[in-house]
């Protein structure tokens, strides 16, 4: 793309993905896809419309959404996650559909209706370190919403995000029923969290490298890692370290 043809603007970017989607599809392919389609129609898409968002593209089990206001983006994400938590109340843990959401505000490039740039990449990586059913926002986004939304944010400190050169400070949006983050608010840099020594074999699943050269396959590589961790966690004889522990 030539610079003279690039359209740029400042925007809030929301990246959403279904945690453990490969596992859900493996259990019941048609049922899981039907559930996802129904959720988009009855919950996800209407919430985005209510908060003036634009769905840039659906990514199979996720979506990329652009907002003119980061306040709208955070409020939309908060409502989606609260509604999903209510729907999952009586659903067994292994059959729950739970979204992870990441939000960043930054400069983006628009080309043929799609969006590109570091702003997009950061939102996607923040989604990757969010908890299932949780929301992770950048420090830039947090500065814009502080005092403007009725949510509490826990400081996650400085996070090293995949394929992002510099570490970035991130914040966890605390939903109803969630405990405060293990990292105390106000800490500029996250300190290594000491894990209790387990009395059973320990496993850590390292990130997979996308060898295809196609950025679209990053979602697939990350999803495989997530599904492996989820599957191994079911064995009570193993201690499995989550991928966002450092």
Most confident listed range (23-32, 75-84, 174-183, 219-228): 75-84
| Cα 60 to the center of its chain, rounded Å | 15
DSSP 7: E
Residues 229 and 205 sit within 8 Å (Cβ to Cβ): yes
Q: Locate tokens 């989606």: which residue?
A: 80
Percent of the chain with pLDDT over 90: 37
Residues 184 and 171 sit within 8 Å (Cβ to Cβ): no
Q: What pLDDT digit, counting tens, does each position of 152-209 carry?
A: 899 999 998 887 878 889 999 987 656 665 544 433 333 444 445 556 677 777 777 7
Look up the pTM and report it.
0.70
Name 154's bridge partners. 172
Contacts of 239 (CB under 8 A, 6+ apart): 198, 200, 201, 202, 203
Residue 137, both tokens: 């926002």
Q: CA 77 to CA 85: how far, in whole Å? A: 12
Q: What pLDDT digit, counting tens, does each position of 109-131 carry?
A: 988 888 898 889 999 999 999 99
* Range from 73-77, 163-167, 220-224 carrying the lowest mean pLDDT: 220-224
pLDDT at position 145 is 93
């Amino acid at each position: 793309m030539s610079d003279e043809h690039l359209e740029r603007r400042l925007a809030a970017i929301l990246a959403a993905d279904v945690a453990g989607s490969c596992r859900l599809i493996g259990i019941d392919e048609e049922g899981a896809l039907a559930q996802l389609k129904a959720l988009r129609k009855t919950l996800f898409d209407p919430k985005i419309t209510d908060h003036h968002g634009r769905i840039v593209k659906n990514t199979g089990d996720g979506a990329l959404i652009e907002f003119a206001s980061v306040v709208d983006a955070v409020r939309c994400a908060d409502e989606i996650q609260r509604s999903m938590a209510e729907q999952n109340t009586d659903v067994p843990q292994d059959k729950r559909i739970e979204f992870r959401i990441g939000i960043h505000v930054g400069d983006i490039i628009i080309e043929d209706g799609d969006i590109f740039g570091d702003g997009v990449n950061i939102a996607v990586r923040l989604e990757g370190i969010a908890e299932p059913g949780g929301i992770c926002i950048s420090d830039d986004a947090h500065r814009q919403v502080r005092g403007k939304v009725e949510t509490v944010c826990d400081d996650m400190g400085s996070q090293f995000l995949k394929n992002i050169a510099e570490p970035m400070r991130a914040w966890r949006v605390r939903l109803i029923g969630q405990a405060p983050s293990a990292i105390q608010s106000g800490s500029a840099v996250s300190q290594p969290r000491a894990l209790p020594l387990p009395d059973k074999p320990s496993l850590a699943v390292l990130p997979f490298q996308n060898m295809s050269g196609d950025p679209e396959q990053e979602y697939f590589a990350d999803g495989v890692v997530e599904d492996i961790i989820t599957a191994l966690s079911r064995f009570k004889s193993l201690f499995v370290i989550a991928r966002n522990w450092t």
